[in-house]
């Protein structure tokens, strides 16, 4: 549907309604691609290649970064969603040259958790991963009663210079609180909020989760990030050109797939562009609450067909399914995404109608291709307890 035929609805006061869609879906014309709004992620400014810095931290602090995300996003970032302090890293990958920053070094550092930084030289560097990175739930991947120390947090900070690439052949990162070979923390792994996994000041590109890493539970998506349990946070991250399976009734998340999480995950000041999957071209949450803040979600595609009773095609940008879970979108632009079924901007279904979708100070426009939607918003499909839209432009 082209932009002149789409009506925008600007909510200057809170619109709160429990919308039950029980009738036949509203038909829409054939999909068209609308021009993207906003700007793409900008490259960071590098440090002076000729300068000498006493430490990697000092060098990093000398760089003025161009932030990713929505340049017009001014939403308040809660303390839990803030960038992590990495001034005292557990591991520093590299010795000052690009060649010293290897896939093997990254995999070894990430495995047991902690704070990870990079010293790959003063210029941007791409590290091509030879396999999917994994982190265990304990320092040695053994259960605590077998001597494993709990992995409370993993922070991977690229310093604005590092790109991790899946080379289009495998996923970039995988974590699972219920994977026995990673060490169970308790007998109720499905309720576990550890580890907190944080990626910040980094680019994650060309991840491919069309299949799961060998020997691990298939989380059905997440080309860049695939997680079950625990908690996730992305701050100043660019996710681009990541993919997962093209057809699946409920799998999804070309860039990010979060499942069965009891703690809210955060995506902050980040850009998600040109990712694709059966559902949720960029982001998929299954029984997982997600708060997206001051971010840009553009040019992503849900590739499936037939919706949930077929092989997907819901949620061009963002897909959510489950029971009691909550999506919040603050200060974010979602535009230029495509879904052939429902919700080219956001697809949200709380099966027991207890979940909520909240949109504040955001712009959701020019998302196309939908076969059904929740009137009057063609960019949304929603079933839940309450849909709240405040000070936002939503088509």
The pLDDT tens digits for 276-316 are: 999 999 999 999 999 999 999 999 999 999 987 788 999 99
- pLDDT value at position 198? 98
Q: Following CA atoms 344, 326, 297, 365 in sequence, which dihedral angle do they give, to the nearest 10 degrees?
A: 50
The pLDDT tens digits for 326-354 are: 999 999 999 999 999 999 999 999 999 99
Locate 326 and state its tokens: 């909550």
Locate 316 and state its tokens: 């061009």
CA-based R_g, the chain, Å? 20
The pLDDT tens digits for 122-148 are: 999 999 999 999 999 999 999 999 999
Residues 6+ apart with CB under 8 A from 58: none
- pLDDT value at position 249? 84
- Report the share of the chain in percent with pLDDT over 90: 79
What are the C-alpha distances in Å from 51 to residues 121, 209, 344?
Answer: 11, 40, 48
- pLDDT value at position 308? 79
The pLDDT tens digits for 66-107 are: 569 999 999 999 999 999 999 999 999 999 999 999 999 999
Counting the structural domains of the chain, the total is: 1
Reported pTM? 0.86
Residue 34 confidence class, pLDDT cut points 50, 70, 90: very low
- pLDDT value at position 24? 36
Rounded-to-integer distance, Cα 342 and Cα 340, Å = 7
Q: Following CA atoms 169, 171, 173, 176 in sequence, which dihedral angle do they give, to the nearest 10 degrees?
A: -140
Query: Structural domain of residue 165, as residue ranges?
Result: 3-394
Q: Determine which helix (DSSP H) or strand (DSSP E) holds 60, and give its type and residue range.
A: helix 56-61
Under 8 Å between Cβ of 21 and 347: no
Rounded-to-integer distance, Cα 257 and Cα 287, Å = 11
- Which letter does DSSP use for residue 110 in this model? H
């Amino acid at each position: 549907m082209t932009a002149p035929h789409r009506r925008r609805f600007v909510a200057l006061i809170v619109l709160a309604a429990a919308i039950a869609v029980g009738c036949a879906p509203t038909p829409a014309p054939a999909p068209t691609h609308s021009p993207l709004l906003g700007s793409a992620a900008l490259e960071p400014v590098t440090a002076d290649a000729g300068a000498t810095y006493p430490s990697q931290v000092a060098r990093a602090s000398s760089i003025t970064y161009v932030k990713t995300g929505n340049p017009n996003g001014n939403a308040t970032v809660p303390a839990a969603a803030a960038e992590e302090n990495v001034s005292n890293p557990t591991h520093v990958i590299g010795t000052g040259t690009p060649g010293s920053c290897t896939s093997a070094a990254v995999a070894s550092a990430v495995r047991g958790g902690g704070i990870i930084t990079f010293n790959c030289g003063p210029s941007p560097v791409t590290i091509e991963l030879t396999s999917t990175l994994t982190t265990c739930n304990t320092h040695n991947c053994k259960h605590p009663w077998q001597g494993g120390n709990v992995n409370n947090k993993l922070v991977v900070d690229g310093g604005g210079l590092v790109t991790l690439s899946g080379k289009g052949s495998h996923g970039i990162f995988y974590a699972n609180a219920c994977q026995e070979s990673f060490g169970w923390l308790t007998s109720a792994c499905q309720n576990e909020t550890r580890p907190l996994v944080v990626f910040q000041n980094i680019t994650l590109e060309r991840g491919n989760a069309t299949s799961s890493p060998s020997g691990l539970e298939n989380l059905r998506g997440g080309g860049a990030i695939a997680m079950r349990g625990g908690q996730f946070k992305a701050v100043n991250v660019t996710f681009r050109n990541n993919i997962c399976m093209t057809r699946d009734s409920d799998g999804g998340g070309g860039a990010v797939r979060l499942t069965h999480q009891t703690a809210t995950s955060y995506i902050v000041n980040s850009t998600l562009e040109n990712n694709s999957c059966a559902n949720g071209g960029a982001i998929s949450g299954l029984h997982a609450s997600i708060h997206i803040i001051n971010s840009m979600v553009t040019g992503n595609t849900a590739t499936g067909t037939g919706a949930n009773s077929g092989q997907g095609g819901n949620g061009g940008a963002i897909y959510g399914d489950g029971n009691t879970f909550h999506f919040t979108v603050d200060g974010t632009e979602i535009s230029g995404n495509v879904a052939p079924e429902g919700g080219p901007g956001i697809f949200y279904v709380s099966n027991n109608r207890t979940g909520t979708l909240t949109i504040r100070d955001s712009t959701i426009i020019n998302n196309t291709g939908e076969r059904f939607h929740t009137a009057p918003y063609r960019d949304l499909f929603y079933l839940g307890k309450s849909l709240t839209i405040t000070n936002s432009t939503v088509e």
